[in-house]
Chain A
Amino acid sequence: MGKISDAIYEIHYMDTIASKDSPIHRIHPLIKLLTAIAYIWFTVSFDKYNVAGLLTMVIYPVVVFSVSGTSFRHSVKKLRVILPIILLMGILNPFFEQTPRFTFYGIIVTNGMVSGFTLIVKGCFAVLGSYLLIATTTIESLCYALNLLHVPKILVTQILLTYRYITVLMSEANHIFEAYILRAPFQKGVHFKVWGSLLGQLLLRSIDRAGALYDSMVLRGYNGEFRYTQLRRLQWQDFAYLAAWAGAFAVLRYTDFLNMVGNLFV
């Protein structure tokens, strides 16, 4: 199935780009996680009518995209999937807040339009921030960071194993669908009459595969607790990275940065 194999490819693609080497990739995962959380927190905390201030937050994705070498085009493709939900969040604002705010080339812009726009921008920035985190940090490193933050081990292990097993489930679904479609050449999809048996097959096969993987893990000493890659200790560069971004976010959030820059030239 094209869509399933595409999805498997996507997961592997994210694994590949997350293990690249760049100054951003080399930052300690805990710092990258905290920076991403700070970015999202500062971004969503902007006033709903402060469009100009909010747009300055684009600096973070721009810098991280360019330094890490992550493909912007790919992130837009990913954003496309979630964009309808983001649009849905902001699209109703113009109906609720109809007070005119200003006129733009003769068009009356209402408070609702502005707040709807900022909501959409906030959503896009938050998704980009999260995307950049997983595009520059492997799932193992992320789980290691969560571990350092004392997130319950059981939860972290669940995240890690779900991520690993999801491809197992998808590849089994792919095999079943390919075997079906090769013997049903004139059908566009799977006939509803066989949905039940195919899903049953998928469940049984996935349990078998997951069981075999688990066997392989316990035979190599796995006892319910994942041992993560022992990453290097936090270094001053990591703290500097976090401090620089946190400082930049605070300046952009709590000062009228654009005005200050404008005043320098006027």
Chain B
Amino acid sequence: MSHNHIICDNVCFSYEKGSEVLHNISFSCGHDDAVGLIGANGVGKSTLMRILVGLEMGFTGEVTVGEIKVTKKTLPRIREKIGYVFQDSDNQLFMPTVYDDIAFAPRNYGLPPDQVDERVQHALDLVGIDYLRNKHTYKMSGGEKKMASIATILAMTPDVILMDEPSIALDPKNRRRLINILNELDHIKIIASHDLDMILETCSRVILMSGGRIIKDAPTREVLTDRELLEANGLELPFCLQGDPGEPRPFGHKH
């Protein structure tokens, strides 16, 4: 029996014939893995995430989540195991109140009202937004929406959390809050982001993609401190490692 919860084996995908977006993607994630998915714009990070939750089918190769192969038939079971946080929270929140949005998944999975309530409360507590419980989603700030979006998937009690650019459009305080929350969650996490500082603080491993291929799959520090590798793939060192000219600032350094 494999200990890997997500296995991608030689996955290729294209939206149109002749222009492959992903080429032979192979990687696996096990229990407690926090993986940062990095790369320049348009390298296929979001497409790969969408394949993992079955939003894009028609790929070749094999994707297995929790020992279930991703096929059209298994999608409901797969999606029960994976929580996907969209880049734009407005796409994630469609119910009138935070409570209703968080309760959406537990209700769909047929839980009785008392258990739905329990799940919602637990998700709110995990993210620390109990005060938003009955707030209307359209009245919330970007940071609050992001936290609520995370809570909506936590209420599904997923094994795996996928996040597409979670720190985008967050102010420093909310970004810090997000990092703390991510570090407290002991799920398998795959986080696609250009915020390499956040990846450095939240992920133990990084997959660097370029041109639809995996260029490097290694521990976070090894990848994110390799200036040459990052620059060759349209990225740069995380800000906290750039420091003052000529003097790299150690991680976590405060003025």
Return chain B residues, CB-CB under 8 Å to A219. Answer: 53, 55, 79, 82-84
Give A192-228 interface residues, CB cut-off 8 Å to B.
Answer: 209, 212-213, 215-223, 227-228
User: Of B76, B109, B138, B152, which is within 8 A of A12 by CB?
Assistant: B138
Give Cα A164 to B136, complex, Å.
13
Least Cβ–Cβ distance between B233 and chain A, in angstroms: 28
Minimum C-beta distance from A17 to chain B (A): 11
Q: Which of A164, A167, A223, A229 has the most CB of B within 10 A?
A: A229
* B204 interfacial contact with A, CB 8 Å: no
CB distance from A167 to the nearest CB of B (A): 8
B242 at the interface (CB under 8 A from A): no
CB closest chain-B residue, reference A208: B91
Query: Please, how many residues of chain B have a CB less than 8 angstroms from a CB on the other chain?
Result: 34
Q: How far is the CB of A54 from chain B (nearest CB, A)?
A: 36
Interface contacts (Cβ under 8 Å), in number, total 70
CA–CA, A216 and B108, complex, Å: 13
Question: Are A19 and B97 in touch, CB under 8 angstroms?
Answer: yes
Residue of A nearest to B50 (CB): A215
Which residue in A138, A227, A228 is a CB contact (below 8 Å) of B96?
A138
| Neighbouring A residues of B113 by C-beta, 8 Å | 230
Chain A residue, CB-CB nearest to B102: A220
Contact A221 B94 (CB under 8 A): no
Does B182 reach chain A (CB closer than 8 Å)? no
Tell whether B92 is near chain A: CB-to-CB under 8 Å. yes
Q: Are B94 and A217 in contact (CB under 8 A)?
A: yes
Interface hits, B74-97 → A, CB 8 Å = 76, 79-80, 82-84, 86, 88, 91-92, 94-97
**Size of the chain A interface, CB-CB below 8 angstroms:** 25
Cβ 8 A contact of B80, one of A213, A215, A221, A222: A221
Say whether A221 contacts B136, CB under 8 Å: no
> Which of B80, B100, B134 is close to A140, meaning CB atoms less than 8 Å apart?
B100
Residues of B within 8 A of A209 (CB): 91
Q: Tell me the chain A residues, 7-46 only, with Cβ under 8 Å from chain B.
A: 12, 15-16, 19
By the criterion CB–CB under 8 Å, are B105 and A220 in contact?
A: yes
* Nearest chain A residue, comparing its CB with the CB of B96: A15
Indicate if the CB atoms of B79 and A216 lie closer than 8 Å. no
* B residues near A167, Cβ cutoff 8 Å: 138
Flag if B79 contacts A218 (CB, 8 Å).
yes
Q: Are A220 and B91 in contact (CB under 8 A)?
A: no
The closest CB in chain A to the CB of B88 belongs to A212
Q: Within the assembled complex, what's the spacing in Å between the Cα atoms of A140 and B92?
A: 18
Provide the bound-state CA to CA distance between A221 and B54, in Å.
13
Q: Does B5 contact A (CB under 8 A)?
A: no
CB pair B152–A212 under 8 Å, yes or no, is no
Known: A19-B96, A219-B79, A219-B84. A227 touches B91 (CB 8 A): no
- Contact partner of B76 among A16, A138, A223, CB < 8 A? A223
A-B contact list, 5 entries, CB within 8 Å: A138-B96, A164-B94, A220-B108, A221-B105, A230-B116
**Can you name 12 extra interface pairs (CB under 8 A) apart from A213-B91, A221-B79, A221-B104?**
A12-B136, A15-B96, A164-B94, A167-B138, A209-B91, A217-B104, A219-B79, A220-B152, A220-B156, A221-B105, A229-B103, A230-B113
